Amino acid sequence: MSLLDVDGVTHRYGPETDDRPVLDAVDLHLDDRDIVAVVGESGCGKTTLGRLAVGLARPVDGQIRFDGRDVWSLRGRDRLGYRRAVQLVQQDPYASLNPGLTIENTLGDALLYHRLVTRRQLPAKLVELLADVGLDATPEFLRRFPHQLSGGQRQRVAIARAMSLQPRLVVADEATSMLDVSMRVSILDLLLSFRRERSLAYLFISHDFGVVRYFAQGGRVIVMFYGVVVEAGPTEQVIRQPRHPYTYLLLQAIPVPDPAAARRRAAVDTDARTEAPPARTGCVFSNRCPWADERCRQTAPPTIEIAPGHTTACWRPEQIPTETVTVRRGAPDVA
């Protein structure tokens, strides 16, 4: 039994007459200690998927199960247990903390609400949490407000808040994208250390394949385009041998410091229309795909398995160039 199952989930923010749902029949399965990274451009539905996973929104169709139980059928203590077991680290550390609360209140209120500590135990627990995330573990720091902290310190407080409830699954939504480059690797390493120490699972949302390769080593990647999962598989396999045109073009867009590799890229005819809207019929990517034919424009492709655990929603995966795509771990946004 999986820790988290997302089965055929469709979601819309507007009326059902809208042209395209934000998520369209998305499937995702995540086990204990797993890392599943969700990659795609802005607006593809990554954040919506994360919000559904933590129970902040209810899908219009499909089912989300945690430990085998539909999360929207949970009541009382079971619902409270689920909300504690699945935590969210948001993208913007400047917006995710209440500016009117001290760090003590930010971290302490949830601990008291879930009865994880008594009021007498709380001060020592809060100092311990600060030390766990690499912050100044003193009572003076706890009396600060968010505006008195740097962006990196705020994100560490947000991570401490999530980890304080001893979750089993953490949804990290672009958790490093608003931080200085010098801070990003340290935050990623901090999250990975919690996984080793506490057997956490992560749903890791990012637009950056370099960050994904660094964080999701040994895990899996799901590539989304306008709410549709177009490719999924083991991290290294998807990055080294992409089998969907969208994945391939995302990887090709990453700058490389090798002039010879850049020339080889330029020699491949991939004149995709990057601003074209998603197709209304057939493959969702057919308006941008340089290899699309009439079948692609008329009929949506099925999801096929091209290698163990590696799937793609493409009629012509054999057309994708086989040249290995070079992506450094952490590049380009992480030094």
Cα dihedral value 62, 171, 274, 279, nearest 10: 0
Query: What is the DSSP code string of 85-136?
Result: HEEEE-S-TTTSS-TTS-HHHHHHHHHHHTTSS-TTTHHHHHHHHHHHTTS-
How does 115-138 read in b/e, with b if 16+ C-beta sit within 10 Å? eebeeeebeebbbebbebbbbeee
Distance, in Å, from the CA atom of 321 to the CA atom of 268, rounded to the nearest integer, reads 8
Q: Is the pLDDT of residue 307 over 60?
A: yes
Distance, in Å, from the CA atom of 141 to the CA atom of 149, rounded to the nearest integer, reads 10
Distance, in Å, from the CA atom of 111 to the CA atom of 106, rounded to the nearest integer, reads 10
Please, are residues 205 and 46 in contact by the beta-carbon 8 Å criterion? Answer: yes
What mean pLDDT, rounded, does the chain reach? 89
Mean pLDDT of the region 305-326: 85
Q: Which residues pair with 232 in a beta bridge?
A: 222, 311
Please, are residues 232 and 223 in contact by the beta-carbon 8 Å criterion? Answer: yes
pLDDT band with cut points at 50, 70 and 90 for residue 333: very low
Mean pLDDT of the region 273-279: 74
Q: At what angle do helices 103-113 and 122-132 cross, to 10 degrees?
A: 120
Closest CA to 173 of 52, 21, 31, 33: 52
pTM attached to this predicted model: 0.90
pLDDT band with cut points at 50, 70 and 90 for residue 276: confident
pLDDT band with cut points at 50, 70 and 90 for residue 272: low
Output the pLDDT for position 183: 86
Please, are residues 91 and 109 in contact by the beta-carbon 8 Å criterion? Answer: no
Helix (H) or strand (E) holding 331: none
Output the pLDDT for position 13: 86
Output the pLDDT for position 332: 44
Closest CA to 53 of 79, 25, 28: 28
From 21-25, 130-134, 272-276, 297-301, the region with the lowest mean pLDDT: 272-276
User: What percent of the chain has a predicted confidence (pLDDT) above 90?
Assistant: 74
Phi, psi (5° rounding) for residue 309? 80, 0
Please report, for the chain, the start and end positions of each structural domain, with discontinuous segments joined by +: 4-207, 228-319
Output the pLDDT for position 328: 57
What letter represents residue 91's amino acid?
A: Q
Which fold is adopted by the domain 4-207?
Answer: Rossmann fold (3.40.50)
Q: Is the pLDDT of residue 263 over 90?
A: no
Q: Is the pLDDT of residue 192 over 50?
A: yes
Query: What is the DSSP code string of 202-260?
Result: EEEEES-HHHHHHHTTTSEEEEEETTEEEEEEEHHHHHHS--SHHHHHHHHTS--S-HH
Strands (E), 47-99: 61-66, 69-70, 86-89
Over residues 46-88, the pLDDT tens digits come to 999 999 999 999 999 999 999 999 999 999 999 999 999 999 9
Output the pLDDT for position 329: 55
User: What percent of the chain has a predicted confidence (pLDDT) above 70?
Assistant: 89
Over residues 96-121, the pLDDT tens digits come to 999 999 999 999 999 999 999 999 99
Q: 257: Cβ–Cβ under 8 A, 6 or more apart, which residues?
A: none
Q: Is the pLDDT of residue 148 over 90?
A: yes
Over residues 197-246, the pLDDT tens digits come to 998 999 999 999 989 999 999 999 999 999 999 999 999 999 999 999 99
Cis peptide before 332 (omega within 30 of 0): yes
**Residues across the chain:** 335
Q: Which residues pair with 164 in a beta bridge?
A: none
pLDDT band with cut points at 50, 70 and 90 for residue 323: low
Cα dihedral value 191, 196, 201, 206, nearest 10: 30
Distance, in Å, from the CA atom of 217 to the CA atom of 65, rounded to the nearest integer, reads 25
